[in-house]
Amino acid sequence: MTDEPAVVEFLYELWDANWDDGPLGNYRILRHKITKKTARRIYFVRGGSRPAFVDRQQIEATGEIFYRPVAKTLYLAEPTLPRQPKPPSLPELKAAMAAAHPDRGGTDAEFIAARQRYERARPTP
């Protein structure tokens, strides 16, 4: 007889480390150890030692559930980390500004907005 270790299961939470300070997007995945499963609930340990539970049928049907006490979504499988979109380069912003020019079919408002985006992205001399 072999002594195989018990499989440890987790619920996963996508957590933004900068939720209260600075730009969003510094994500980490938190793991909450599942301690017990019943027909109706999945019990887990949250924050070290605080016991909690979620509806088993709902999370197994969709793979995720909104956990109201902390206003977070919990996942059965480890979620992928969101990526921040790459900011447009100066040549891309300049091309967008040229395309929005009224002589090329754009409106005054579109051109002004495109020029403001370009000016904000330019390095200051």
Q: In this model, does residue 6 exceed pLDDT 70?
A: no
> pLDDT tens-digit profile of 22-38?
556 678 889 999 999 99
What average pLDDT does the chain have? 85
d(C-alpha 104, C-alpha 93), whole Å: 16
Percent of the chain exceeding pLDDT 90 equals 51
Q: Is the pLDDT higher at 1 or at 15?
A: 15
> pLDDT tens-digit profile of 54-72?
999 999 999 999 999 888 8
- Per-residue pLDDT, averaged over 94-99, amounts to 91
Residues 6+ away with beta carbon under 8 Å from 121? 87, 88, 90, 93
Q: In this model, does residue 83 exceed pLDDT 80?
A: no
The domains of the chain are located at 10-75, 90-121
The pLDDT assigned to 62 comes to: 94
Q: In this model, does residue 85 exceed pLDDT 70?
A: no
Would you say 57 and 41 are in contact if contact means Cβ atoms under 8 Å apart?
no
Q: List, in sequence order, every residue forming a beta bridge with 15; answer none if it has no partner.
A: 28
